[in-house]
């Protein structure tokens, strides 16, 4: 209840030895207890994370094995009459590392931004990556995920 | 003429009983200064948007309590009125009591002020844990679960609390007040209020104002310390992406933390328990309605009550003292030390991990969620614009909330006897 106000400055100023003891006890015990509890939590959550990761890996392995078995069963079936493949379109020149899907996405982005004019993507090359820097896609993904904060 | 005289007398009588006159009588000038301070804080909250959600109600509570005769924080009292002077209504309402002197009295009760009753939620330690419930419901502990090492940074940033405790003792404060001042270094408003309401309720006003002011000033206070203690190379470190945390892990986290912390340090159970309850409501996904209520309606209502009543504790006779200046200074020291220890432990982690940890995330260990994490992100991007430290800094940031609640539990366990 805020009815009285007692000035505390100077209270017990002559008890310097007791103060030193008080400071030492509170500081040491406080730091030790905070660290011990949080270190214990680190230990628990490392163990806990390890268990969960192991469980996830085991699940993934099982799922992969199941999928492989299914694929093998499909491969064993006799081949049906396949439709003739469409004639391949002229592809832009690449350095050989860029998959076709990515080139299609880039071409679609160029078409979307072209404003009705027709452009041809003739060459796609990978830009030099600065070490220690994220790609534009990684940065955009992170930005998207962290925007609420 | 007689009518004019009586009107004049009425006006004079009203003026004599008004709060305005009280500003010019005795220590009334102190109230005038406090009104000025409250208006300045209102300007900071509205004009500069410094933690407006809390600073605005705090400043308005401060304004209300310092308006003379407003009675908003008056304590309920009883008055013994001799039976002959009591009205029939009072006799019927309060009954008669016979005192040892043989006289009959009516014990007339006078209600307290509005904010006095609302303040009971602070005094009884109800509001801060409710705020923690809302914080828990809003927090994502995923980054902390993905990288449990972050706990160490949440612990390191609490070291400042204990060094500031020593500083406060050396400046002459008694142990309970020193503990309440030191907890400002936890950069967690509800924790500071909770500890102070238990240890030194008379100092609630200055400590709450200092704690929330520093939380608002995180983007100004922390960056120079962070730059001073780190090299450009350290600040440029890009940390590897955190692993994905499963829903089960997120659900188990609040349960495990509550059991461990409450078993080891029962005095921290109200704060940590409510924080984790809020988080469990969020992560379980089965009580979306009450999780939403904890994050929004409850949080907002408690914030209004907490802010206004804490502001109302800043009465002139308590606030305008040299101790307030010392509290403000010590609070700043606590905050700076917390930031510095966080960054220094971040540097240690940088060394031990062979440069995989950016030390800037250490400063987020002081709590102040998510502002301190945003500061880590901003300072990191000054050196490397494509660096996103935010998710990495949120780990120490939420660890800091747990760390400051544990530090509060230590102070309460040792000093609260």
Closest of B362, B341, B393 to residue B144, by C-alpha: B393
Rounded to whole angstroms, the Cα distance separating B299 from B260 reads 26
CA B261 to chain centre: 21
Disruptive mutation site among B151, B156, B242 for chain A (greatest number of A CBs within 10 Å) = B151
pTM > 0.90: no
Q: Give the residue on A whose Cα is nearest the Cα of B167.
A: A23
Question: And the tokens for B145?
Answer: 């679960």
Closest of A74, A65, A136, A148 to residue A106, by C-alpha: A136
- B202–A45 CB contact, under 8 Å: no
- Alpha-carbon distances of B156 from B236, B316, B361, B380, rounded to whole Å: 22, 36, 12, 20
Environment class of A111 (CB within 10 Å of its CB; exposed 0-12, middle 13-18, buried 19+): middle
Q: Give the residue on A whose Cα is nearest the Cα of B321.
A: A7
Per-residue DSSP letter, A118: -
pLDDT at residue number A5: 40
- B152–A39 CB contact, under 8 Å: yes
CA B113 to chain A, closest CA, distance in angstroms equals: 12
Rounded to whole angstroms, the Cα distance separating B339 from B367 reads 10
E strand or H helix at A90: none
Segments making up each domain of chain B, as ranges:
2-72, 77-110, 117-415
Please report residues of A whose CB lies closer than 8 A to that of B166: 23, 26-27
Question: And the tokens for A142?
Answer: 């992170």
pLDDT at residue number A116: 74
- B323–A29 CB contact, under 8 Å: no
- Alpha-carbon distances of B394 from A108, B248, B263, B334, B399, rounded to whole Å: 37, 20, 26, 21, 8
CA A101 to chain B, closest CA, distance in angstroms equals: 25
Q: Give the residue on A whose Cα is nearest the Cα of B384.
A: A133
Please report residues of B whose CB lies closer than 8 A to that of A29: 410, 414
| Phi, psi angle pair for B229, to nearest 5° | -95, 0
CA A124 to chain centre: 28
Among the partner residues A1, A26, A149, nearest to B390 by beta-carbon distance:
A149
Rounded to whole angstroms, the Cα distance separating B63 from B204 reads 16
Residue pair A14/A20 in contact (Cβ under 8 Å)? The answer is: no
Tokens 């008055």: give the residue: B79
- Length, in residues, of chain A: 149
Closest of B364, B365, B382, B381 to residue B373, by C-alpha: B364
Q: Mind listing the pLDDT tens digit of every residue in chain A (149 residues)?
A: 443 444 444 444 444 467 888 888 889 999 999 999 999 999 999 998 888 888 888 888 888 888 888 888 887 776 555 555 555 556 666 666 778 888 888 888 888 887 777 888 888 887 765 555 666 777 777 666 666 55
Could you give the strand order of the β-sheet that contains B104-110, starting from the edge strand earlier in sequence? B77-82, B104-110, B97-98
Rounded to whole angstroms, the Cα distance separating B283 from B253 reads 10
Tokens 């600073």: give the residue: B55
Q: What is the ipTM of this complex?
A: 0.83
Question: And the tokens for B197?
Answer: 């309401």
Please report residues of B whose CB lies closer than 8 A to that of A34: 155, 158, 403, 406-407, 410
| Four-residue CA torsion sign, A17, A23, A24, A29 | positive
Question: Which parts of chain B sit beneath pLDDT 70?
Answer: none
- Length, in residues, of chain B: 417
- B322–A134 CB contact, under 8 Å: no
- B391–A5 CB contact, under 8 Å: no
Please report residues of B whose CB lies closer than 8 A to that of A40: 260, 264
Residue pair B278/B258 in contact (Cβ under 8 Å)? The answer is: no
Residue pair B195/B179 in contact (Cβ under 8 Å)? The answer is: yes
pLDDT at residue number A8: 40
Give contacts of A 25-84 with B, CB under 8 A: 25-27, 29-31, 33-42, 44-46, 48-49, 52-53, 56
pLDDT at residue number A11: 43
């Amino acid at each position: 209840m805020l009815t009285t106000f007692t000035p505390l400055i100077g209270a017990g100023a002559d008890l310097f030895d007791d103060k030193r003891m008080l400071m030492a006890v509170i500081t040491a015990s406080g730091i030790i207890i905070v660290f011990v509890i949080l270190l214990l939590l680190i230990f628990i959550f490392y163990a806990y994370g390890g268990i969960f990761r192991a469980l996830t890996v085991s699940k993934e392995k099982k799922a992969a094995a199941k999928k492989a078995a299914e694929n093998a069963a499909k491969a064993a079936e006799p081949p049906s009459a396949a439709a003739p493949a469409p004639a391949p379109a002229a592809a832009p020149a690449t350095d050989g590392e860029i998959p076709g899907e990515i080139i299609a996405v880039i071409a679609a982005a160029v078409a979307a931004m072209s404003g009705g004019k027709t452009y041809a993507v003739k060459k796609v090359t990978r830009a030099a990556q600065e070490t220690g820097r994220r790609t534009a896609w990684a940065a955009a993904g992170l930005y998207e995920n962290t925007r609420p904060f | 003429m007689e009518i004019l005289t009586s009107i004049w007398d009425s006006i004079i009588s009203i003026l004599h009983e008004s709060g305005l006159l009280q500003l010019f009588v005795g220590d009334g000038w102190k109230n005038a200064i406090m009104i000025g301070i409250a208006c300045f804080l209102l300007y900071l909250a509205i004009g500069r948007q410094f933690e407006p959600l809390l600073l605005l109600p705090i400043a308005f509570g401060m304004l209300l309590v310092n308006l003379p005769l407003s009675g908003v924080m008056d304590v309920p009292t009883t008055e013994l009125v001799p039976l002959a002077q009591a009205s029939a209504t009072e006799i019927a309402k309060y009954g008669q009591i016979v005192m040892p002197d043989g006289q009959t009295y009516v014990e007339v009760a006078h209600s307290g002020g509005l904010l006095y009753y609302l303040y009971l939620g602070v005094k009884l330690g109800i509001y801060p844990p409710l705020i923690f419930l809302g914080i828990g419901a809003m927090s994502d502990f995923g980054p902390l679960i993905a990288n449990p090492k972050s706990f160490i940074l949440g612990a390191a940033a609490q070291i400042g609390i204990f060094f500031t405790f020593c500083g406060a003792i050396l400046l002459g404060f008694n142990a309970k007040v020193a503990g309440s001042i030191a907890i400002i270094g936890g950069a967690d408003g509800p924790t500071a209020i909770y500890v102070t309401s238990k240890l030194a309720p008379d100092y609630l006003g200055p400590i709450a104002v200092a704690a929330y002011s520093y939380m608002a000033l995180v983007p100004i206070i922390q960056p120079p310390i962070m730059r001073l203690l780190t090299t450009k190379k350290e600040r440029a470190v890009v940390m590897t992406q955190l692993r994905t945390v499963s829903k089960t892990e997120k659900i188990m986290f609040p349960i495990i933390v509550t059991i461990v912390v409450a078993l080891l340090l029962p005095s921290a159970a109200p704060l940590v328990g409510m924080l984790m309850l809020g988080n469990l409501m969020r992560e379980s996904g089965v009580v979306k309605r009450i999780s939403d209520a904890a994050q929004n309606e409850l949080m907002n209502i408690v914030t209004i009550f907490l802010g206004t009543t804490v502001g109302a504790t800043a009465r002139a006779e308590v606030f305008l003292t040299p101790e307030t200046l010392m509290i403000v200074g010590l609070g700043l020291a606590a905050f700076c030390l917390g930031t510095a220890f966080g960054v220094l432990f971040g540097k240690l982690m940088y060394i031990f991990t062979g440069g995989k940890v950016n030390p800037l995330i250490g400063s987020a260990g002081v709590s102040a969620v998510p502002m301190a994490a945003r500061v880590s992100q901003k300072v990191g991007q000054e050196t490397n614009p494509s660096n996103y430290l935010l998710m990495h800094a949120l780990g120490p940031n939420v660890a800091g909330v747990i760390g400051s609640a544990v530090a509060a539990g230590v102070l309460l366990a040792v000093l609260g006897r």
